[in-house]
Amino acid sequence: MKARFSVLLSSILLLIISYSFYVGHRSATIRSTKSLDSSFYIIVDKSDFELRVYDAEGWYATYPVVFGSKDPGDKMREGDKKTPNGSFKVILKKIHKQWGQELLLDYPTEENVKLFKERKAKGIIPSNAKIGAGIAIHATRPQEEWTVDNFYNWTDGCVSVKYSEMKDLFSYVTVGTKVTIQP
């Protein structure tokens, strides 16, 4: 019995050590001295493929992310796969049936609508175009974390975090958290 316990304990230890090496440099980094009672804000930098979390003390965490399009420009219309630029807030936390934890953003904001109408009036986008909605920060599917490691943009305009790391982000970000998405 002691031999089985020893083998089991050794196996668990080996698994933990192996996982820590597997995680690699494209994993989340988090400041470890954080108490969870202060407010956060998020900055998504599309050119760096990063989502950074800040609190009253400054930087708190960084997560690698991907988007819908390689073009860091602003979302112009529904279906263009671009992630919108601007200031948003988290309006809903939910569990999505395909990719788990999801932080729904308040896109389109009044500013997004204003820009959309201006672009239509100038003929930059078709007059029958729609603005779109449903932009979120969400996880990859569990077996598709490689998309983030390989900078593979796959969403329809959302911000995608690794499935294993989204659980952490979801655990402390609250409804009302401010989110800035920049090119």
Q: What is the CATH number of the domain that holds 96?
A: 2.40.440.10
pLDDT at 98 > cutoff 90 = no
Q: In this structure, is residue 101 part of a structural domain? A: yes
In which domain, by residue range, is 177 found?
A: 25-182
Number of structural domains (the chain) is 1
What percentage of the chain exceeds 70 in pLDDT?
A: 79
pLDDT at 105 > cutoff 50 = yes
Q: In this structure, is residue 142 part of a structural domain? A: yes
Rounded CA-CA distance 107/85 in Å is 10
* Residue tagged 């609250």 (tokens): 174
Q: In this structure, is residue 73 part of a structural domain? A: yes
- The pLDDT of residue 125: 96
The model's pLDDT over 31-66, given as tens digits with 9 standing for 90+, comes to 443 444 448 999 999 999 999 999 999 999 999 999
Q: How confident is the model at residue 99 (pLDDT cuts 50, 70, 90)?
A: confident
With beta carbons less than 8 A apart as the criterion, state whether 168 and 76 touch.
no
Mean predicted confidence (pLDDT) in 71-75: 93
Rounded CA-CA distance 166/169 in Å is 5
- pTM for this model (two decimals): 0.79
